[in-house]
Structure 1
Amino acid sequence: MSAEQETRAVRCLVAKVGLDGHDRGAHVIARAFRDAGFEVVYSGLHRAPEEIVQAAVQEDVDVLGISILSGAHNTLVPKVIEGLKKYDAFEDTLILVGGIIPDDDETELKALGVAEVFGPGTPMEETIEFIRNNLPERA
């Protein structure tokens, strides 16, 4: 963590993209992040990739956690990544995906720039430690 990141709270956007209506996991992780001292913004359900990008840019988040259980991760996550690149926010944002993601798809998502994929049952502390250890340096 940089000196600036040590003096300000980590800002996280927990996002639900697409038509996925399963949000229990997103609420659980948002609460865990908050309890860990992170500032958390929750997107709400059924957001388009561009809406997620706009929220991430406007909120100046350090971490974008995309919760997706719809199976549309190979379509929607790349659109979010491309949008972040368009706004020069990709390099400054740690992108995480949570959900049931097949191993082959996880490899593809990581090749696009997703830092880590967390499946069901991942201990909250593991996710929180990953964030603390992998935050991008802010300019």
Structure 2
Amino acid sequence: DVDMLGLSSLAGAHMYLFPRVIELLKEKGAEDIVVCGGGIFPDDDIAKLRKAGVEAVFTPGSPLDEIVKWVEENVHPRRD
């Protein structure tokens, strides 16, 4: 069982790949899997990714403790 899927993109294909992964998860009945992403994104794309279903977007320099806190608050509670 997968609780979370973390996607990373440094190649600029995030606006296609991330929504496509979410679409495929929905097709397979796996929309309960939390999807987050990380990489180098234009600021305008972050809101678009969130709207497409990426629940959190982390960019270079995001503090590790902030990422861990987000995972603990948004992934593990869904297991209960």
Q: Same fold (TM over 0.5)?
A: yes
Deviation at 1:137, TM superposition (A): 2.2
TM superposition outliers: structure 1 runs of 4+ over 3 Å: none
Tell me the secondary structure at the aligned position of residue 125 of structure 1: helix
Give the equivalent residue in structure 2 for 1:72: 13
1:71-90 matches, cutoff 5 A:
71-90=12-31
The DSSP-based 3-state class of the residue aligned with 1:137 is helix
* CA deviation vs aligned residue, 1:64-84 (integer Å, no higher than 9, x gap): 100110000011111101000
Q: Distance in 2 between matches of 1:133 and 1:106?
A: 20
1:118 to 53, 58, 61: 58
Higher Cα Rg, which structure: 1
Q: Highest relative contact order (Cα 8 Å, sep 6+), 1 or 2?
A: 2
- Aligned partners of 1:137, 1:121: CA distance in 2, in Å? 27
SS for the counterpart of 1:64 is strand
Structure-1 residue corresponding to 2:69: 129
Distance 1:102 1:130 in 2: 22
Superposition TM-score, scaled by structure 2 size: 0.90
Output the aligned Cα RMSD. Answer: 1.4
For 2:43, the equivalent position in structure 1 comes to 103
Percent identity over paired residues = 48
3-state DSSP of counterpart to 2:57: strand
Q: What's the CA shift for 1:103?
A: 1.5
Q: How many residues align?
A: 79
